[in-house]
Amino acid sequence: MTEGREEQVLDGTGVTPLSGVGAAVRYDPDAGLSLPEPPDPETVAAERERTADRAGEEEAEIFDAHRQFLDDPEIAGRVEEAVREGLPAEHAVDRAFAGAIDQFEAAGGLMAERTDDLREVRDRLLRHLLDREAADLSALPAGSVVVAPRLGPADTAQLDPDSVAGFVTATGGRTSHAAIMARSLGIPAVVSVGDAVASIPDGVAVAVDGDAGEVVVRPSEQRRAAARGGRAVPVRHEPVETADGRAVEVAANVGTPAEARGAVEQGADGVGLFRMEFFFLDRESPPSEDEQYEAFVEVLDRFDGGRVVVRTLDVGGDKPIPYLDVAAGANPFLGVRGVRLSPGERADLFETQVRALLRAAATDAGDGLAVMFPLVSTVGDLTAAVDRVEAVADALDDEGVAYRMPELGAMVETPASAFLARELAERVDFLSIGTNDLTQYVMAAARDDDRLADYHDPRHPAVLRAIDRTVRAGHEGGAWVGMCGEMAGDPDLAELLVGLGLDELSMSAVTIPEVKAAVAATDARQAETLAERALAAETLAEVEAVLADGGDEE
């Protein structure tokens, strides 16, 4: 470790309200993927034959697993062109993906968001073609700070929060997969630091302030002590009420049973969003019914008596699962995703998952299980999903398999579902507002495009009015209404959300103590006045002013 030099402060985007300090461990997802020189033309025929033999066995499985990307006509055409020119498979893949990545990055916005997914698929293909293993991030030395150009979902999922003191990346945003995983795992993280990441030497001491968005290389003893100081807000494990006695459920967003353990430690009342997508990543076929059943039961056992809301498989858009062989479409966010895929085009995935859910609901801790459907845009979407659940229940009954019907709910993520909230609420037990997508669709602003940051702010009057309409209509329809987007985890917005009438707030586990403290300090009637003033505002600046003065009239 290099000591005795001045500390260096790098600015980025903090994605967790946590700090940590440790030794830098540089990680390059492209490491080991340098290609040998292409063979001479006379060896091309032999190379083609060898590649065909391999593709007929293990390599064929890899191409099948990533067909969603390779079926893109432009990428596939570039691979074919390179092969015709005499390049071996690994060079053809590298060239084809390089062109696609450059194009996506240059396009910005929605297209730029997919570059890390493309890189991850390219790297996995190259590793299989070159017979090289990826670096193992699951067993890093205690106190490691991972420093990387980028981290994909599969990379971040390997990190052990008991060992990793933080991570720093050159790219990324608050709603990137890596950021969401960092919050779920309780890992201090700063993203979007830029090219300065390359200047951090391996082994040097690094302090990561995930709240302020600062990375300090070679921190002083004072900064190290501050980074180790932990959080100021104590964890409260009991349910919370506002100062005037209104109960608000504060739950966690999780992606794995391991994250549920961390949520319990942070005082979560339950799980408001159990994402199943991570079960489908980093494998070549979907998880079985029993695998999913065991995962549901494990989480239910951790929250014995608490509510656990499982979102049925939500892939497509920014969450592609390559081996599912679903065409991305010209605009993935407006294409086949959520309920349009499962139970839509892939009813088999939905039925397998629902069987596991209904079986889990029949266990001793299963009373708290609830199931919600993503990206519901029409009454027909919801009716089809509910009908399919009932059909699965009938099938289990015919087989003599024990099951229980859980609470059912719909996610409100589109303007359509906000307008139809009353009709949706009449057909289910609850609604859950996903503010990440709702904001994106209401404002027509890509989530990770920094140029549109002002548009992708859930405090915008248009988004607040969509939330207000949903809560009111949901209650009129007899449903409870929660929120599971990133907005729910901002303690500075807790009073506003209480005032808007939310019954439940679900967030990354790491922010639960701060949000519970904010709810406990809120007077619900004063919060309603604050919400009324915010809803009357016409601009984001006006909403910010209302929140800054606490809703008091001038």
Strands 247-254 and 271-274: parallel
Mapped onto helix, strand or coil, the DSSP state of residue 9 is strand
Contacts of 169 (CB under 8 A, 6+ apart): 147, 148, 149, 150, 151, 178, 189, 190, 191, 192, 193, 197
Q: How far apart are CA 209 and CA 221, in angstroms?
A: 15
Q: 210: burial class by Cβ within 10 Å (0-12, 13-18, 19+)?
A: buried
Distances (CA, A) of 535 to 460, 465, 495, 530, 546: 9, 6, 14, 9, 10
Contacts of 106 (CB under 8 A, 6+ apart): none
- CB < 8 Å & 24+ apart, contacts of 466-469: 466/415, 466/418, 466/438, 466/442, 467/418, 467/433, 467/435, 467/438, 467/500, 468/500, 468/501, 468/531, 468/535, 469/418, 469/419, 469/421
Distances (CA, A) of 153 to 17, 98, 138, 227, 277: 20, 20, 13, 26, 10
Q: 143: burial class by Cβ within 10 Å (0-12, 13-18, 19+)?
A: middle
Q: In degrees rounded to 5, what are phi and psi of residue 252?
A: -115, 150
Distances (CA, A) of 39 to 36, 45, 59, 81: 9, 11, 20, 17
Instruction: Name the catalytic one among 128, 177, 456, 460.
Output: 177
Q: In degrees rounded to 5, what are phi and psi of residue 408?
A: -120, 145
484 is catalytic: yes
Cβ atoms < 10 Å from Cβ of 416: 17
Instruction: Name the catalytic one among 66, 128, 456, 484.
Output: 484
The length of the chain in residues reads 554
Which amino acids are annotated catalytic? 177, 484
